[in-house]
Amino acid sequence: MALYQAALYGPNFLTTSAAAIYDSDNPTTSGTSQAANVTILKQIIVCNTDTSTRTFTLYIDTNSSADASDTVFSAVSLGAGETKIINTSIVLRAAQNHKVYALASVVSKVTMTLVGLEEY
């Protein structure tokens, strides 16, 4: 099986409710019409576009809702105008229906971008 670089999500503004931003069981913008067997989340890029400090939270879940037990990053602070690039190697499996959820402390002020590798 081959690995393909993929823009998995964004950049898009986060909302204040935990919303699914990537579903390992659905195709992405990588140009294929099938779901990846395995996705490796390599980078999470988060940008606070506001003039005040804001936070974001990220979850990885295998059912239909994110809760505290799914938390990967909790209320991570971003200073005014700050961008954080987080390097990871988080494995997301379609067979386990992994989903990535995220939220921000204020709507339309924090953007998130996910990039990674997909195996077909």
At 70-118, the pLDDT tens digits run 999 999 999 999 999 999 999 998 888 899 999 999 999 999 999 999 8
pLDDT of residue 14: 98
Q: What is the mean pLDDT of the chain?
A: 90
Instruction: Say yes or no to pLDDT of 29 above 80.
Output: no
pLDDT of residue 2: 83
Three-class SS of residue 95? helix
- Say how many domains are in the chain: 1
119 vs 47 pLDDT, higher one: 47
94 vs 7 pLDDT, higher one: 7
User: Could you tell me the CATH number of the domain that includes residue 27?
Assistant: 2.60.120
Q: What phi and psi values does residue 94 have, to the nearest 5 degrees? A: -60, -40
pTM: 0.90
pLDDT of residue 111: 98
Three-class SS of residue 108? coil
Could you tell me which of 43, 120, 119, 56 has the C-alpha nearest to residue 86? 43
pLDDT of residue 28: 54
Cα–Cα separations (whole angstroms), residue 54 to 21, 29, 46, 57, 85: 19, 29, 11, 11, 16
Three-class SS of residue 44? strand
Instruction: Domain of residue 96: give its range.
Output: 3-119
pLDDT of residue 81: 98
